[in-house]
Amino acid sequence: MYSFKNDYSEGAHPALLKALTESNMQQEEGYGYDTYTQEAIRLLKEEMKNPTIDIHLLTGGTQTNLTAISAFLRPHHAVIAPHTGHIFVNEAGAIEATGHKVITVPGVNGKLKPDQVEAVLAGHPDEHTVKPKLVYISNPTELGTIYKKDELQALKEVCARNNLYLYVDGARLGSALASMENDMTLAEFAAYPDAFYIGGTKNGALMGEALVIVRDELKEDFRYSMKQKGAMLAKSRLLGIQFTELFKGHLFWDLADHANHMAKKLQDGLADNGVTFLAKASTNQLFPVFSNQMIQELQKQYSFYVWERVNDDSSAIRLITSWATKEEMVDQFIRDVKEIKTKFEKKQTTFA
């Protein structure tokens, strides 16, 4: 049983494990003051060409979203998000549990559009409603699509006009910026959000996300919020070592490239066999549509999520490739799809 279920099934890239092991008996400060975390922060600031940003390392995506968004907002503030947004669908109401309503709108291929933000604002005009204050998007989206520079620029402009914060969930940001369709470097991307994070958990790390706070007013007392939410590790070196390894060279981008390349090969191979997709993606998430009967056959050999019912007879599944996906398993999946399709077609011809 081979898994295309997620991009964190494996542990961590060997270079990170080696660095963790070799530094194991070295004494270090804690709570983000260790030399490795400070080096990781230096490398990231250098990569983004911005020495004024604040960077904090946290363990996971939900923890980062919860800690950041709850710190940025006042009690009556709300979040605007696409209806597929991770904070709305997959985080057990973590944001709303802190008292902040999540207002959703139908995403367009998973994306949020400026006119949708304006429409939400028009529907929340005064103190008798919650006050929308933060716009939440993810890059890539939950459908594997990405935001290009002009789209981020447009969202930034609508946020600036209405004094809203723009926050980007970057759990798979490496995959988005390594996409063949992407037109931004990390430094160029970082100019648009008020805050965002760079996901390590889904790109070769055992755990870890690097939260980047760009807007000055959001920086104050953030470490207090981290501590209060249980997001400040005593052994912060565990995160610092991993991000140092990922960014001291090109490893972070090499791993994202591999995940995307495997997805592209999988996408092309399935398309060659007549498979259609729920959305056109250019990252490591694919949503092919199969008959329910075919899905049952594939589940005998592979692990994946059944994502969305398309009609009575077919559904979209989610296939995710990772930094560690084996190319031979991508080839095997394509061969198995072809074989199963041929078998079903022969049966239909026989009964006809």
- DSSP secondary structure string for all residues of 31-81: TT-SHHHHHHHHHHHHHHT-TT-EEEEES-HHHHHHHHHHHHS-TTEEEEE
pTM (predicted TM-score): 0.96
- Given the structure tokens 């080839």, which residue do they identify? 331
Within 8 A by CB and 6+ apart from 301, the residues are 1, 2, 336
Cβ atoms 341, 294 nearer than 8 A: yes
Look up residue 25 and give its two tokens: 């008996």
Tell me which DSSP letter residue 150 carries. H
CA 268 to CA 328: how far, in whole Å? 15
Peptide bond into 106 cis (omega under 30): no
CA 268 to CA 255: how far, in whole Å? 20
Q: Long-range contacts for 213-217 (Cβ within 8 Å, ≥24 apart)? A: 213/53, 213/54, 213/55, 213/56, 213/68, 214/50, 214/53, 214/190, 215/165
CA 63 to CA 41: how far, in whole Å? 19
Tell which residue, 195, 157, 155, 183, has the closest CA to residue 53: 195
Which CATH code fits 14-250?
A: 3.40.640.10
Write the Ramachandran bin of 298: left for phi over 0, alpha for psi from -120 to 50, otherwise beta: alpha
Which CATH code fits 252-351?
A: 3.90.1150.10
Q: Mapping DSSP to helix (H, G, I), strand (E, B) and coil, where does residue 168 land?
A: strand
What length does the chain have? 352
Local mean pLDDT, 10-residue blocks, the chain (352 residues): 96 98 97 98 98 98 98 98 95 95 95 98 97 98 96 98 98 98 98 98 98 98 97 98 98 98 98 93 96 96 96 96 98 96 75 52
Tell which residue, 90, 101, 66, has the closest CA to residue 141: 90
CA 98 to CA 106: how far, in whole Å? 24
- Given the structure tokens 């400040």, which residue do they identify? 232
pLDDT of residue 280: 86
Q: Mapping DSSP to helix (H, G, I), strand (E, B) and coil, where does residue 180 land?
A: coil
The domain spans of the chain are 14-250, 252-351
pLDDT of residue 348: 67
Rg (CA), the chain: 21
Tell me which DSSP letter residue 107 carries. -
pLDDT of residue 79: 98
- Given the structure tokens 């490591």, which residue do they identify? 284
Q: Provide the pairing of β-strand 131-138 with 77-82.
A: parallel
Look up residue 227 and give its two tokens: 């501590």
pLDDT of residue 135: 98
Q: Mapping DSSP to helix (H, G, I), strand (E, B) and coil, where does residue 339 land?
A: helix
- Given the structure tokens 């907002």, which residue do they identify? 73
CA 10 to CA 101: how far, in whole Å? 35
Tell which residue, 148, 132, 140, 152, has the closest CA to residue 110: 140
Q: Provide the pairing of β-strand 54-58 with 209-213.
A: antiparallel
pLDDT of residue 351: 52
CA distances from 7 to 75, 268, 280, 328, 340 (A): 35, 20, 19, 17, 26
